[in-house]
Amino acid sequence: MKLVVLSGKGGTGKTTVSTNLSKVLNMAYVDCDVEEPNGHIFLNHDHVEEKEVFLLNPEFDTTKCTMCGQCVTSCQFNALAKVLDRIMLFPSLCHGCGACSLACPVDAIMEKPRTIGKIQYQNQFYMGILNIKEPMGGPVISELNKMVKESAIFDAPPGTSCSVVKTLDHADFALLVTEPTKFGLHDLKLAVELVKSLSVPFGIIENRAEEEEFLIRDYCEEEGLDLIYQIPFSKSAASKYAGGRLLIEDDDFKVHFETLGQLVMKRLEGA
Shared domain check, 66 and 92: yes
Domain that holds residue 109: 55-114
Q: By the 8 A CB rule, do 27 and 208 touch?
A: no
Would you say the C-alpha torsion 232, 234, 240, 244 has a positive or negative sign? positive
Per-residue pLDDT reduced to its tens digit, 68-83: 999 999 999 999 999 9
Per-residue pLDDT reduced to its tens digit, 107-163: 999 999 999 999 999 999 999 999 999 999 999 999 999 999 999 999 999 999 999
Shared domain check, 94 and 209: no
- Return phi, psi of residue 89, to 5°: -105, 135
Shared domain check, 130 and 93: no
pTM above 0.85, yes or no: yes
Q: What is the CATH number of the domain that holds 75?
A: 3.30.70.20
Average pLDDT over residues 187-200: 97
CB atoms within 10 A of CB 263: 15
Q: Which of 158, 159, 113 is nearest to 139 (CA)?
A: 113
Shared domain check, 234 and 262: yes
Q: What distance in Å separates the CA atoms of residue 159 and residue 85, rounded to the nearest whole number?
A: 43
Shared domain check, 109 and 166: no
Per-residue pLDDT reduced to its tens digit, 239-264: 999 999 999 999 989 999 999 999 99
Last residue of a domain, one of 114, 138, 163: 114
Amino acid 8: pLDDT: 87
What's the total number of domains in the chain? 2
